[in-house]
Amino acid sequence: MPKHCLIFLSLFTAAMGAAPRMPAEGAFERVFPERFGRWNAVSSPIKIKSDEGRAQVFVESGLKDWLAEDYSDGTQKVRVIVRQFRDPSGAYEAYTAEFGLNMHPSTVGGPSAIDQERLLLLLGNLILEVRPPQNPTTDELQQLAAMVRKHSDQTPLPPIRTYLPSGFSDGTQRYALGPAALQNALNSLKHEEFTNLVNEAGFSSGAEAMIAEYRNGKDSAGLLLIEYPTPQLAEQHLRHLEQALSPAAKQAGTTIEREASLLSLVLKPSSSAYGDSLRSALNYETEVTWHEPKHTITDPPWVTILARIFLVTGLFMVVAVVLGVAFGGVRVVAKVFFPGKVFDRPEQMDILQLGLSGKRIDSRDFY
């Protein structure tokens, strides 16, 4: 290679290595639109740090970035906050951890929760938060959600969230991928006496948990679901959880049951009948199927098979007889017409003898 080419390649490589890289948050900043509805951005996105109370849950959920931007319509302001997580499951864990007990589903659509202070929208692996939610209209919020959703990962959410029976109290549903989120959920739902179950839940084995509170008149109960990758793991952790339950919890009616890979824990039901009704209303079904190979019968009728067997056997017998007669007949004819010339020639026959007598054996004595 010419010397000037080598010099050019060296300089090009050094220039590429020294070139400044775009910051990672630069791509994430494009999640915020310049305008939605009558609202215009009035500042650049700013980075937000998580507070200590939720830091462990966000780390467990895989928080990657957290930015906020202010918008104005000339008279009012609204703050838009977006959190980015590694996948929708982590975002769903953080989304439910943000619930307040007074939050209700919104009219914006999709997984959402709203109260007087903020609106939460789950958009794939992004959580969109609007403060205060009263200033923008529903159409403007839907327009903003559609713009942000284009930058999200739309992998399906965890199926365990659909196992909960309907009728739970709004804002009490919590999803946990790990011990930090389950610990936070039990504390926020006033079930601190069950926090010793966190270490026995088996999150290191790939478990997922879902919890919610139910109230129906005077009846109430908490329902904790834990799903495992296999029924064997579920059975193993069932024993551990039963041992971890305190006598007071068992006295209060808390029970654990397993169905395939799912454990259901009814926490402090007001009555055993109400707890049983919750467990029987689970949206969880298992089905074992056996896929046997299929084939079409192509064998001929048995009468045809027997006829072919007899035919082939008879043909084989005829061939054997013909070959036997031919082989024996040739030898006989040769002996009759050419005695001692074709077969059984004495001068070419050699017989092993023990020599026990002096008489020599004559090969012609055998024929």
Q: Domain of residue 77: give its range.
A: 23-149
Please state, in angstroms and rounded to a whole number, the distance separating the CA atoms of residues 39 and 78: 8
If one counts the domains in the chain, the total is 2
Please state, in angstroms and rounded to a whole number, the distance separating the CA atoms of residues 354 and 233: 82
Instruction: Name 46's bridge partners.
Output: 68
Pair (204, 126) in one structural domain: no
> Has this prediction a pTM greater than 0.85?
no
Pair (172, 274) in one structural domain: yes
In a domain, 308, yes or no: no
In a domain, 7, yes or no: no
pLDDT of 322 strictly over 70:
yes
In a domain, 187, yes or no: yes
In a domain, 12, yes or no: no
Instruction: Find the CATH number of the domain harbouring 66.
Output: 3.40.1000
Pair (28, 145) in one structural domain: yes
In a domain, 102, yes or no: yes
In a domain, 311, yes or no: no
Please state, in angstroms and rounded to a whole number, the distance separating the CA atoms of residues 167 and 160: 16
Beta strands in 228-364 (DSSP E): 255-259, 262-267
pLDDT of 177 strictly over 80:
yes
Please state, in angstroms and rounded to a whole number, the distance separating the CA atoms of residues 241 and 203: 13
Pair (29, 119) in one structural domain: yes
What are the C-alpha distances in Å from 4 to residues 17, 129, 134, 299?
Answer: 20, 57, 67, 78
In a domain, 18, yes or no: no
Pair (102, 62) in one structural domain: yes
Question: C-alpha angle 116/120/108, rounded to 5°?
Answer: 90
Please state, in angstroms and rounded to a whole number, the distance separating the CA atoms of residues 367 and 360: 16
Helix (H) and strand (E) counts for the chain? Answer: 10, 13
Pair (130, 41) in one structural domain: yes
* Residues 80/71, Cβ–Cβ less than 8 Å: yes
* Residues 154/216, Cβ–Cβ less than 8 Å: no
Pair (61, 122) in one structural domain: yes
When pLDDT is averaged across residues 329-352 and rounded to a whole number, the result is 72
* Residues 261/230, Cβ–Cβ less than 8 Å: yes
Q: What percent of the chain has pLDDT over 70?
A: 82
Pair (132, 172) in one structural domain: no
* Residues 83/57, Cβ–Cβ less than 8 Å: no
More confident residue, 95 or 293: 95
Pair (129, 177) in one structural domain: no
- Crossing angle (nearest 10°) for helices 52-61 and 179-188: 140
Pair (30, 139) in one structural domain: yes
> If you search the block for the tokens 């129906």, which residue do you land on?
216
CB atoms within 10 A of CB 142: 18
* Residues 99/173, Cβ–Cβ less than 8 Å: yes
When pLDDT is averaged across residues 62-85 and rounded to a whole number, the result is 95
Total number of residues shown for the chain? 367
- Backbone dihedral angles phi then psi of residue 35, each to the nearest 5 degrees: -155, 140
Pair (232, 127) in one structural domain: no
Of 235, 261, 280, which residue constitutes the final position of a domain? 280
Q: What percent of the chain has pLDDT over 90?
A: 68
Of 149, 172, 204, which residue constitutes the final position of a domain? 149
Q: Which of 227, 234, 224, 118 is nearest to 174 (CA)?
A: 224
Torsion on CA atoms 350, 352, 356, 359, rounded to nearest 10: -10
pLDDT of 131 strictly over 60:
yes
In a domain, 357, yes or no: no
* Residues 269/278, Cβ–Cβ less than 8 Å: yes
Chain segment 86-108, per-residue pLDDT in tens: 999 999 999 999 998 889 999 99
Pair (142, 170) in one structural domain: no
pLDDT band for position 112 (cuts 50, 70, 90)? very high
Q: Compute the mean pLDDT over every residue in the chain, rounded to the nearest whole number.
A: 86
* Residues 92/103, Cβ–Cβ less than 8 Å: no
Chain segment 132-141, per-residue pLDDT in tens: 999 999 999 9
CB atoms within 10 A of CB 34: 10
Chain segment 268-284, per-residue pLDDT in tens: 999 999 999 999 999 99
> If you search the block for the tokens 């200033």, which residue do you land on?
135
Largest interatomic CA distance in the chain: 143
- Crossing angle (nearest 10°) for helices 88-97 and 52-61: 160
Of 260, 280, 300, which residue constitutes the final position of a domain? 280
- Which helix (H) or strand (E) segment holds residue 315: the answer is helix 302-337
